[in-house]
Each structure stands twice: as structure tokens, then as C-alpha cells.
Amino acid sequence: MFKCKLRSQLNEQLRALDSRIDTQCALVAELQDWFRRRAELHQDYSIKLEKLSKSLLARHKEQKVKREQWNLFSVYNCWQILVNQTKKDARDHGAMADVYLNNIIPRFTQVQEDVQRIYKKCRDIGYESHEELLKVLHELHTTMRTYHMYQAEFKSAESKLQNLEAQKAKLEQNNPKEKLEKRKKFKVIEKEIEKRKNKFRDAKLKALKARNEYILSMDSANAAIHKYFVEDLSDIIDCMDFGFHSSIAKALMTHISGQECFKRTLQNGIDDLNKSINNMDSRHDKQRFLEYNNAAFMLPKKFDFQGHKGDEKNQVIVTHPIQEGNGETLRSFSFKVNQFKNRI
């Protein structure tokens, strides 16, 4: 009966372990599915970013003539950095999708295969252990039954001997000693007692041996069951999990290093744009514009005195009548100069 109970418990263990491996594989499959679907999104995003970058650069090339003066502006560099960033983002997301599909997902497939292969072996070992246990249990039942049987026989032999010895005692009680030895009945009883004593000794020995066997079997069974439940089961599960976490960890670390890569690109983009913003220089822009349009903004030649037919007096001559006459002109000249100076 105990054997049935143990067998049932051992089968329950196998079912639990089967269920465990199914759960493990389902979990890995779900992880794999996340990576697969996430890779699709990375890929889709990458394609769209690439398309945007190409479209902007194509339009820029197409409008090269119209946009001839863009490089006179420091802001232009900021735009260039943003467009380049788009290209880098496209590349990063494409690379991430690739790593997911061609590195991480196959790792998970391998994990599932490994886990299932290892489990098959562990399960076989477990099953063998169960058979061993049940064998030991069977032996215990056998030795126990044998012991009970031989002990019963011993008790029976003991009882029979005791009966005969009682009969002899009764005879000795009723008759004097010298008569007895000549009586036939007394001789028969003594022969019977001798026979019984032998049987009794044999039965006792058998019973003793049987008990010993039973006790040894019992200790053996207890030790085997203890070892299986306390050590072997634990070892089997450790075996099932062998390398599982480290393989999963490796796959996830690959994902993490991809994320670190994203982080670096992000940081570089931030640094480049910060630098570009700091380099925006209005004075420099103005300078480049004036140089580009040099002809329009070039200071014309000064006016020279155009004397009339050899008249070389090119200085203002001030005498008394002139002072009065040009006074107004001088005042209006000073006014004009000040006006220009103070304007805007």
C-alpha cells in the first residue's frame, strides 16, 4: 500500500518536472517573441529614418543653387547635424534589429533546445531512481512478510514445545521416578520433546535471521528514500537548470550592449549639437555675407576736388566777406555731419 502511495507521489513529481520544463520553454519563447516583435519595430523605424535622411539630402542637392548662400549662416551647421543624426539613428535601429534577429533570438532557440535535451536525460535518471526506490521498497515488503511468517512459525514451535514439556511435567508429578523410565508413554514424550526442541531451535534461528534481514531492508529503504528526496531530486533540478541562467544572461547582455550603443550615439549627437549652438556667431555670419556680396558693399572711392581749368585751390578759403557768405553753409555742413553721426 505504501508502495502505491510512493509510486503515485513519484509520478506526481515527474508531472511537476514536466510542467516545469514546459513553463521554462514557454517563458523563453515569450522572451524570444518580445525580441522578434521589437526587432520589427526597430527595423520599421530604421527604414523610415533612412528614407527621411535620404529625402532631405536629395532635396538639398537638388536645390543646391537656390541654397548657395546657406553656408553663410552658422545655423546651417545645426541643420546639418540634425540630418546626420537622423542617418545615425537609422543605422543604430537597423543594427539593433539585426542583433535581435541574428544573435539574440537564435540564442534563445539554443537555450530551449539545450534545456529540453538536458531534461530528457534528467527525466530518465529520475525515472531510474524511481524504479530503484520501488525495488528497495518491494524488498522491504518481502523481508517483512518473511519475518512475520518465520516469527509466527517460531512462536508456534515454541508453543508446541511448551505443551509437551507441560505434559511431561504432569506425568512426573503423578508417578514415582523409577516407574516412569520403564513406562512407554514417558519414553514417547521425551522423544517428542527432543524432536520439538530441535524444531524450536531451527525456527528461532530462522526467525532471528528473518528479523535481521527485515531490519536491514528497512534501514536500506529509509536511507535510499532519504537520499533521493533530500539530495538526488535537488541534483536533478540543478542539472535541469544547468547553464540556463548564464545563457539567458548572455542574450540579455547582448541587448544591453546594444542599448549602451544607442546611449553613446545619443550623447555624441547631444555634444555635437551643443557645440554647433555655441559656435553660432552673428559677427562671423555678417562678415561672410559682406565678403560674399563684396561688390555691393565695397566702400566707393572718395570724391576729389575737380578744379576748373587748372584751379588747384582745393581748400576752403576764409576771408571777411567769405565768412559771412559761407557761414550759413558751414553751419549747415556741421549740422549734416552731426545728423549722420547720431542716426539710427
Footprint on residues 167-226 left by a second copy (CB under 8 A)? 205, 208-209, 211-226
Question: What burial class does residue 89 get, using C-beta atoms within 10 Å of its C-beta: 0-12 exposed, 13-18 middle, 19+ buried?
Answer: buried
Question: What burial class does residue 339 get, using C-beta atoms within 10 Å of its C-beta: 0-12 exposed, 13-18 middle, 19+ buried?
Answer: exposed
* 242-271: contacts with a second copy (CB under 8 A): 244-245, 248-249, 252-253, 255-256, 259-260, 262-263, 266-267, 269-270
CA dist 122 and 136 (Å) reads 21
- Comparing CB distances to a second copy, the nearer of 28 and 189 is 28
CB of 155 to a second copy, least distance (A): 7
CB of 116 to a second copy, least distance (A): 16
DSSP assignment of 286-310: HHHHHHHTHHHHSPPPPP----STT
CA dist 152 and 147 (Å) reads 8
* 137-166: contacts with a second copy (CB under 8 A): 140, 144, 147-148, 151-152, 155
CB of 170 to a second copy, least distance (A): 27
Specify whether the CB–CB gap between 277 and 78 falls below 8 A. Answer: yes
Say whether residue 129 binds a second copy (CB under 8 A).
yes
Among 26, 106, 113, 187, binds a second copy (CB under 8 A): 26
* 48-77: contacts with a second copy (CB under 8 A): 48-49, 52, 56, 66-67, 69-70, 72-76
Give the residue among 242, 250, 238, 207 at the shortest CA–CA distance from 114. 242
- CB under 8 Å to 326, separation ≥6 — which residues? 316, 318
- Comparing CB distances to a second copy, the nearer of 78 and 101 is 78
- CB under 8 Å to 110, separation ≥6 — which residues? 247
CB of 194 to a second copy, least distance (A): 20
Among 125, 134, 180, 193, binds a second copy (CB under 8 A): 125
CB of 167 to a second copy, least distance (A): 25
Interface mask toward a second copy for 273-312; x: CB under 8 A: xx--x--xxx--xx--xx--x-xxxxxx-xx-xx-xx-x-
Specify whether the CB–CB gap between 115 and 18 falls below 8 A. Answer: no
CA dist 311 and 246 (Å) reads 105
Give the residue among 93, 89, 86, 88 at the shortest CA–CA distance from 41. 93
CB of 107 to a second copy, least distance (A): 13
CB of 274 to a second copy, least distance (A): 7
- Comparing CB distances to a second copy, the nearer of 48 and 187 is 48
Question: What burial class does residue 123 get, using C-beta atoms within 10 Å of its C-beta: 0-12 exposed, 13-18 middle, 19+ buried?
Answer: middle
CB of 266 to a second copy, least distance (A): 5
With cell 554647433, the residue in question is 276
Among 166, 174, 176, 315, binds a second copy (CB under 8 A): 315
Say whether residue 44 binds a second copy (CB under 8 A).
yes
CB of 94 to a second copy, least distance (A): 14
- What cell does 332 get? 549747415
- Comparing CB distances to a second copy, the nearer of 74 and 103 is 74
- Comparing CB distances to a second copy, the nearer of 172 and 333 is 333
Among 110, 124, 234, 275, binds a second copy (CB under 8 A): 234
Give the residue among 272, 293, 267, 264 at the shortest CA–CA distance from 77. 272
Region at 310 (left for phi over 0; alpha for psi -120 to 50; beta for the rest) = left
DSSP-derived letter for residue 100 is I
Which range in 112-120, 168-176, 180-188, 319-327 contacts a second copy by CB under 8 A? 319-327
